[in-house]
A and B are shown apart, each in its own frame.
Chain A
Amino acid sequence: MEFASILGIASILVAIAVLEWRQLRADQRKERFAMIALCIAGGILAVLLVYNREMAGPTQLIDAMYKPLADAFEQWSEERSLQP
């Protein structure tokens, strides 16, 4: 199952990279580099997610950053909604 997922991810990324590479001119080195770098980043993230579906993500980061504010708001709104 995991092997099949990784094979699928790899084939999609290779298809994207090859098709885009052929459309770019030889002097567009920066574009080629950016495209390949994004493909590699996506590939690494996808493979990590295949092995660990519950990996901590950006939502946890934002939750941690705004925890005091979010807690204060929740407490305040709960006090409000308790009123009849």
Chain B
Amino acid sequence: MIEKGKISSSQLAKMMYLAIIPTAILTSPGITYRYARQDLWISPLWAFTGVIVVLVMLRLYRLFPKYNLVQIWEHAVGRIAGKTIGAIYWIFYLYINSVIVREYGEFVVGSFLLNTPFIVLLGSMVLVCAMAVRGGVEIVGRFADLFLPAFLILFLLIIVSIIPDLNIAQMLPVMGEGVMPSITGAFVLQLWLSELATVSFLLPYVNDQHRAGYSIWMTLVAIIFTLLVSNLITLLLLGNLTGSYTFPFLILARYINLQEFFTRLESLFMAIWVLCAFVKICVFYYVTVIGAAQWMGLSDYRPIVWPLGFLLTVFSFWVAPNYQEMAHAISTSIVFAMLTMFLVLPVILLCIVSLKQRWKADEIPK
């Protein structure tokens, strides 16, 4: 194996949690509100994709504990087809990561550092992430360990201090038009839940394997619960205005005003968000690097970390000319692309692998 480091199952859970939550918390209330209206807090509960992805990944993990998704593909469909799919996977991860980096840049430039050029923000973020990724999976895992408590404390601080301003009447009527609006709203959320498939690239490095399944299920539950809380709080505070903001949760942090003393807490939100985005970019960056190194058959992944970082920065300029186009793509075609890569393809893979095993098992008794 290229990577010699080991992570614990709790580190795996923390990495996956932080690899999904930051962008989900930031943009999902606004996008979900368009379709679900006052039912947007129910949408995270329709996490079909998350459940299927976790089931498939754990099943594949039980069959091939030492292999990641791309290696299983290569094992199942042969070398040439496997290499093609492997190339698609790492380039797709590079693309998704560039979308994340761009989102980070748009958020920070649009809300806080108005006069800073993009290249400085994106370049410095990728620089820091490249240093972490070069250290290996253990380092990324420890960053997740380090930042999760900070994230939870500051997140709870924001939630608790906004409670006096909430208006419970904003969520009425609950399911006024039946369950369909909330299910439609859940469609875009599947994008973040399907990202759980990334776990397949980290599972081979877990050292306490018997607890891995439990921690991934807990991650899924934690993600659903966090999204439910953040969507609900955003709705109760902003009501009908939720859909008109790009980053509703930021407005919420900006709204906090305790005794005229604690104000302008959006800088706090920015701080936790940048910490989480760092872990998120690191996890996707790491998967890109590992995927590319395996695809090229290298003995070590570290030489290609910096060149891929440069490519990542360039890609993040390339993905879209402006934020509006990217946001539109995120809520339509990128959802379909991610569902294909992270849901449909792994399900097909599981079918191939199970069928192969069935045939082989049939052969053995004869």
Contacts and interface: CB of A to CB of B under 8 A. Distances in A.
Interface of A: 12-13, 16-17, 19-20, 23-24, 28, 30-32, 34-35, 38-39, 41-42, 45-46, 49, 53-55, 57-59, 62-63, 65-67, 69-70, 73-74, 77, 80-81, 83
Contacts of A31: 298-300, 303-304
A11 B357 CA distance: 53
Contacts of B304: 31, 34-35, 38
A35 B303 contact: yes
A74 B35 CA distance: 11
Contacts of A65: 333, 337
Q: Give the interface size bracket for B toward A.
A: 35 or more
Q: Which 7 A-B pairs have the closest CB atoms?
A: A38-B307, A70-B332, A66-B336, A57-B318, A66-B333, A42-B311, A42-B310
Given A38-B304, A80-B35, A69 B311 contact: no
Contact of B306 (A16, A62, A74, A77): A16
A41 B298 contact: no
Interface in B324-352: 325-326, 329, 332-334, 336-337
Contacts of A38: 292, 304, 307-308, 310-311
B333 A63 contact: yes
Contacts of B83: none
Interface stretch (B49-57, B176-184, B268-276): B176-184
A70 B314 contact: no
Interface of B: 34-35, 95, 177, 180-181, 184, 187, 292-293, 296-300, 303-304, 306-308, 310-311, 314-315, 317-321, 325-326, 329, 332-334, 336-337
B295 to A, nearest CB: 10
A10 B364 CA distance: 60
A63 B334 CA distance: 8
A62 B334 contact: yes
A57 B320 contact: yes
B187 A73 contact: yes
A16 B307 contact: yes
Contact of B298 (A13, A17, A34, A55): A34
Given A23-B303, A35-B307, A39-B307, A45 B333 contact: no
A47 to B, nearest CB: 10
B320 A12 contact: no
Contacts of A41: 311
Contacts of A66: 332-333, 336-337
